[in-house]
Amino acid sequence: MNNFLPLPIKFDMNEWLVTGVSIVLIALFILLPKRFPSRVTIFILMFNSYLGRYVDTLLFFYPLDLYDVMDTAGKDLFDVILYTFVYPFYGYLICYVYDRWKLKGWSQAIHIILWAAVSVLFEGIAVKAHIFVYKGWQLIYSLPAYMMVYSLNILFLYILLRYHWKRKKDYPVN
């Protein structure tokens, strides 16, 4: 038996939802006009993948053990799909909209709050579909968590773009 990356206990609503959301986010990524240099895009995707893994691991393993993700208390194939497609491409979309609209000041704060609110709504749907099974976590805790994560995304994007354009100016690429 493969214990490294087990398959789901059964293929039900949570796997269908993760699959559907992954397809929609990847389609948006492909269909939207290219916004960032390739290196910046890769770093945004990697940052969100690792950030999602880190936060979920911190919160759902001992000693906190606040929730489970998907069908198992450990990791399974659809956890990997969640961290490889859903979290990175959703984070990319947030950065894309932020950069596209060149948000500053209050509009930047409203952008973060709106995305966090939408994320809480999606998480509520994910709880109903048993993607997240709460043990000590409550949905309301997610709003400030998402606001912090999306603020980190904006800061990370700012640092990446600033570094990219400074480096491009100093070291022209042919």
- DSSP string of 68-92? EETTSSS--HHHHHIIIIIHHHHHH
pLDDT digits (tens, 9 = 90+) for 108-146: 999 999 999 999 999 999 999 999 999 999 999 999 999
Looking at residue 171, what is its pLDDT? 44
Looking at residue 167, what is its pLDDT? 76
Looking at residue 170, what is its pLDDT? 53
What's this model's pTM, rounded to 2 decimal places?
Answer: 0.91
What average pLDDT score do residues 73-86 get? 89
Q: Is the pLDDT of residue 69 over 50?
A: yes
Looking at residue 174, what is its pLDDT? 33
- DSSP string of 45-67? HHHHHHHHHHHHHHHHSTTT--E
Q: Is the pLDDT of residue 164 over 90?
A: no
Looking at residue 2, what is its pLDDT? 55
